[in-house]
Amino acid sequence: MQEKKRMNHVSSDGETEIYYVSPVGYLRREDGRTIIDVLPAFTPALKELENFSHVQVFWWFDQFDDDGHRQTTRFEDMPFDAPVLGVFASRAPMRPNPIGLTTARIVRVNQEAGEVEVADMDAFDGTPILDLKGYLPHCDRVRNVRVPDWASHWPEWLPENGLGLED
């Protein structure tokens, strides 16, 4: 491994590198709509996003940002029929770095207002948003895909209206 060019920060143990992230906006759930309110400093970054059908929303699992959840590496009892799962084989919010990713259909982009309305997202009102990336098939759409047996009965495509919050 090449020598690190740059080290953002080193933790108190002198070994762990630490990087920081900050919200670029927050999720708002209102009247059945799901809106990302982008902070004023970042609204210029929305230019051209309206020409994508879908966006990848990177967000922060803020309710799981504590040492206990972040040290979780395996799940013994998933809420579906699955073997013991490593965190990296799951989408669970308990992860070393609690970064969530949702691919969502764009309903509208209002750059002036700093609003991106999406079809739905499996995230709570007030969730911090870290990044948005327009969905590009050559980066993210896999033609020949294989999943574990326990996931083989799930849909083969993102549902048109996304994955909402579970009841």
- Chain residues 104-123 in contact with a copy of itself, contact rule CB under 8 A: none
Indicate which single residue of 14, 80, 146, 166 sits in contact with a copy of itself (rule: CB under 8 A): 146
Q: Does 62 bind a copy of itself (CB under 8 A)?
A: yes
- Give pairs for 43-50: CB < 8 Å, separation 24+: 43/111, 43/112, 43/114, 44/111, 45/132, 46/109, 46/111, 46/114, 46/116, 46/132, 47/111, 48/134, 49/106, 49/109, 49/116, 49/132, 49/134, 50/106, 50/108, 50/109, 50/111
CB of 74 to a copy of itself, least distance (A): 5
CB of 113 to a copy of itself, least distance (A): 15
Show the tokens assigned to 46: 């929305």
Indicate which single residue of 69, 107, 134, 164 sits in contact with a copy of itself (rule: CB under 8 A): 134
Indicate which single residue of 69, 87, 107, 117 sits in contact with a copy of itself (rule: CB under 8 A): 87
CB of 126 to a copy of itself, least distance (A): 5
CB of 112 to a copy of itself, least distance (A): 13
CA dihedral sign of residues 42, 45, 49, 20: negative
- The smaller minimum CB distance to a copy of itself, of residues 156 and 167, is found at 156
